[in-house]
Structure 1
């Protein structure tokens, strides 16, 4: 195993951002090496995109891509962009598998069940373990839009987002 030391001048949040971007690059490289049909991608993303219709017209989920993981049979990585308009939010929900979110615009408020409400800005990320209850997912601003990139690693064919009552 190779251990890479980062310069001490890098802040932990920047190191995390570098790791997330590196993971995305690897996932995209693996996916480009595999033939994937649009039917497969659409089928994997449909459950996630269906939940976007239940929010404000300014809040939306945009599928980026989805790839089977050849070294982890039965698992798939799916990448989406989540847009929140000013004051936008998602209802409490749960995701299949693991999710890493990377903030690309504005600030996002987030709270996982049992944890504190946290605010993440551009360049920061957060992780949701499998089965977590995401109680708060919202734009921290009532005047500016916000967005994030979410990377899911879940079972093939899983419903990626389940809204909670």
Structure 2
């Protein structure tokens, strides 16, 4: 008894290849769906309170973007979070305070800033300022009504802390 083996036609091979690609995509989608919510939950604890400040600020062009957020392995219970804050022309954040410490570095334009008890200062590209824990940030604004401004903020705070709290008038 002999068995004749046929070569798989090219059309069938293409269909098999499509099936393999589709199966791989489905597996990746299922794995991503299980992992993605965990990542979003972890991220949402940190920048969203800062983003909430944008809703009541002076310009619809204001934006806060998460750059990274990582637990500090050598300091249990602490986390470093880095965000990019963009102010549209005339944009500002209402008075607020932050959990932990904040160091801000100006990357575009000029930022007007004032901590409670201190003078109003204007910081330019390449300059930075520091906010100690609990300091009230009375003024945080784009110093220009025509140009954009941007800063990178580095927070060091307790795990799960609300990074920004608006101060009621």
TM-score under structure 2 length normalisation: 0.73
After superposition, where does 1:109-148 map in structure 2 within 5 Å?
Answer: 109-148=112-151
Corresponding pairs, count: 130
Post-superposition shift, 1:69? Answer: 0.4
| Match 1:108 to one of 108, 111, 114 | 111
Partner Cα separation in structure 1 for residue 140 and residue 51 of structure 2: 16
After superposition, where does 1:10-49 map in structure 2 within 5 Å?
Answer: 37-49=39-51
| Match 1:77 to one of 67, 77, 80 | 80
Post-superposition shift, 1:44? Answer: 2.6
Residue pair 2:47, 2:64 contacting (<8 A) in 1 also: no
The structure with the largest alpha-carbon Rg is: 2
| Match 1:53 to one of 55, 61, 65 | 55
Post-superposition shift, 1:54? Answer: 2.2
| Match 1:93 to one of 91, 96, 102 | 96
Unaligned runs of 5+ in 2: 1-37
Partner Cα separation in structure 1 for residue 138 and residue 55 of structure 2: 19
* CA-to-aligned-CA distance 1:28-77 (integer Å, 9 cap, x gap): xxxxxxxx944312233332222222222111111111000000100000
Residue pair 1:49, 1:63 contacting (<8 A) in 2 also: no
1:32 is aligned to none
Partner Cα separation in structure 1 for residue 48 and residue 55 of structure 2: 12
* CA-to-aligned-CA distance 1:105-145 (integer Å, 9 cap, x gap): 00001000000001100000000000100001111111101
TM-score under structure 1 length normalisation: 0.75
Partner Cα separation in structure 1 for residue 42 and residue 81 of structure 2: 12
Unaligned runs of 5+ in 1: 1-35
The CA RMSD measured in Å over matched residues stands at 1.3
